Structures are given as structure tokens and as C-alpha cells.
Amino acid sequence: MSKYGDDPDTWPEYWRAMKQELDAAGIPEDTVVELLNSPNDYPQAVPIMVDWLQHLDERIPPGDERRGWRVSLIRNLITKHAKGNRAAIDVLFHQFAIEPALCNEELEAAGFALAKICERSDFPRIAALIRSERDFPTKSVLVEWLGQIKTEEAKKLAVSQLPNPATRIPAMKALVRQRATGVRDAVAEYLDNEHEIFRKEARKTLDKLPED
């Protein structure tokens, strides 16, 4: 049930418009939140979510309503059906370019979605986000994503994230997945860290890394 009640005729125009698009696509859920909570995953929902994200400011009034819609639209792209979809990937990267900056909840969802659907060819843009001064809750998720990129640049980028406590463990996990060489000394610095969690992760990482 919508927060506006059961009768779509009483819903705001943009709520009705979304329902009409979902109906036309053969999706039985009526709202983006229902779609998000559905046990079913509809490939035909992806272009609808992308289109609404592209035109969100034109369709949804500012404030909490727009923020809520943005988060739901983005989270509906965390699906195998959006993997490698260039329009979906582009609109997610765009969320980080919006000024004034979106709130943490919105950027958190965008980070999770990018980590889910990006391809290796998106490394330059992922790297730029990681290097940027903009902080967001899921930067750590993108750092761990680096593990699938087995290049010298990706290895150096992962190492550069070790000093930041928020990205340290994801960086170690990325290095293990990369089977990176020449990084053991950088990881070993944390064997004597004041925090046990980092000491344990450093030891575990060194046990898994190849010998230099």
C-alpha cells in the first residue's frame, strides 16, 4: 500500500505516472518501494529506473520526497539485470557529480550499485571516485571492487587506501584478490596497529599474499 492510500486516483501525479509505466512493462508492483521490496527481479524495470533518475528533478518535488525516490530508484539498479548497462552505469556516476552534493544515503546507494553493475572497463571512473576528496559511505565498497583489476595502477591505488582506516580492510582484501606483489611491507606496517581488527586483517592478508 502507498503512503497515499490504496486508491491510485488520490496519488500525486508522479506516483501515478510510475504506476502506469510499471503496469505497461508488465510489472505488478505499483511503486518504486514495492518494487524494491519485491521477491521478484524484473529486467524490464531497469530502463524505467534509469529514465526516472535522468529526469528526477523535473518530475519529483525537492526535499525528502525526491531523496527517497532517488534512493529507491538507485537501489532498484542493484540487480544482475543492470550489469554492464551503460545507461545505468552513466546515471549512477552522474549522482556523484550533482551539486550541491547529494546526501550520504543517496551516495551510499549509488556506491553499492556501481560496485554491483560496473565492468572492468569502468576502472578509470571508479579510480577517479576513489581518489576524489568527496567522502561517501560506500567508497570502501569501491576500494574492494579494485580486487578484480589486476594492473599496476589498480595495485598502487589499493595501497594508497591503506592509511585511511575507513578503506584499510577493503584495500587489503583487494590486494589479496589481485594477488599483488611488492606490497607486503605496506601491509606489514599494520601488524603493530593499536587496533586489533587491523592487526588481525594485516596478518591474514600477509598469509594470503604471494611472496615477493
Same domain, 141 and 91: no
Instruction: Please check whether residues 102 and 142 belong to one and the same domain.
Output: no
* pLDDT the model gives residue 5: 60
Residues 47 and 149 in one domain: no
Whether residue 153 sits in one domain with residue 114: no
Dihedrals phi, psi of 133, to nearest 5 degrees: -75, -10
Query: What's the pLDDT score for residue 4?
Result: 61
Q: Do 197 and 185 belong to one domain?
A: yes
CA angle 59, 62, 67 (to 5 degrees): 90
| 165, 193 Cβ separation under 8 angstroms | no
Based on the structure, what is the number of domains in the chain?
2
Contacting residues for 158 by C-beta, under 8 A, at least 6 apart: 143, 146, 147, 171, 174, 175, 178, 180, 183
- Whether residues 30 and 106 share a domain: the answer is yes
**Statement to judge: residues 28 and 105 lie in one domain:** yes
Biggest CA pair distance of the chain:
67
Q: What is the pLDDT of residue 212?
A: 81
Residues 111 and 189 placed together within one structural domain of the fold: no
Q: Given this model, what pLDDT does residue 1 score?
A: 46
Q: Tell me what pLDDT residue 2 has.
A: 52
174 and 75 share one domain:
no
| Cα–Cα dist 50/196, whole Å | 43
Boundary-marking domain end, from 118, 153, 178: 118
Average pLDDT over residues 75-102: 97
Same domain assignment for residues 114 and 137: no
* pLDDT above 70 for 79: yes
User: Do 166 and 134 belong to one domain?
Assistant: yes
Instruction: Return the sign of the alpha-carbon dihedral for residues 96, 102, 107, 110.
Output: negative
Tell me the three state secondary structure of residue 2.
Answer: strand
Does 111 share its domain with 152? no
Note whether 67 and 106 are within 8 A (CB): yes
Residue 183 has pLDDT above 80, yes or no: yes
Write the CATH number for 185. 1.25.10
Mean pLDDT of the 186-199 span: 98
pLDDT of residue 20: 96
Of 140, 154, 141, 134, which is closest to residue 113 (Cα–Cα)?
141
Average pLDDT over residues 56-67: 95
C-alpha cell, 186: 605496506
Rounded to whole angstroms, the Cα distance separating 74 from 83 reads 13
Q: Which of 58, 85, 118 is the last residue of a domain?
A: 118
208-211 long-range contacts, CB within 8 A, separation 24+: 208/176, 209/175, 209/176, 209/179, 209/180, 209/181, 209/183, 209/184, 210/179, 210/180, 210/181, 211/184
Range of the domain at 157: 120-212
At 99-157, the pLDDT tens digits run 999 999 999 999 999 999 999 999 999 999 999 988 898 999 999 999 999 999 999 99
Q: Where is the domain boundary, 63, 97, 118?
A: 118
